[in-house]
Amino acid sequence: MKSFMQKKETVERKWYVIDASDKSLGRVASLAAKYLRGKHKPTFTPHIDCGDNIIIVNAEKVKLTGNKEEKKIYYNHSGYVGGLRERTAKVMREKYPVEMVERAVKGMLPHNRLGRQMYKKLFVYAGNEHKHQAQKPEVLEVK
């Protein structure tokens, strides 16, 4: 019996929208990563980008459990000496909610060329509006 290997030309992509309001950041990110990777499909092939497009709305209303608001720290480095910048999750949610969700999802994707290709199909918006109505996205529920 031969294993099924999908070709990149035969991949059918759908559009899904996830509402992140009052949902845990990790649960939203893991669901998005699963659908971006294509692991929900019976035709999943590890070396092919067979995932779908994901839209995440209400990123500013995502929930963090425990005391992560004060304890979780996001780091950036400019590349220069003394260029390390630290921000707490509270500051990230107030000023950069889109980046916070994007980082969580990106960390759950493969760290190679294929992962970077999958990451390009992620669209995160701070508010309730998005510009992908023409694609008729289906709603995904976070458990």
> Looking at residue 3, what is its pLDDT?
85
- When pLDDT is cut at 50, 70 and 90, the band that residue 1 belongs to is confident
* Distance (Å, whole) CA 90 – CA 107: 19
Q: Is 141 exposed, middle or buried (0-12, 13-18, 19+ CB in 10 A)?
A: exposed
pLDDT at 132: 97
The pTM for the full model equals 0.94
Domains of the chain by range and CATH?
A: 13-64+99-140 (3.90.1180.10)
> How much is the mean pLDDT over the chain?
96
Strand 138-140 versus strand 15-19 pairing type: parallel
Give tens-digit pLDDT for 66-81. Answer: 999 999 999 999 999 9
- pLDDT above 90 for 121: yes
Cα atoms in the Cβ-side hemisphere of radius 13 Å centred on 113: 2
Residue 16 in tokens: 């899904």
CA-based torsion, 125, 129, 135, 139: positive or negative: positive
DSSP, collapsed to helix, strand or coil, labels residue 83 as: coil
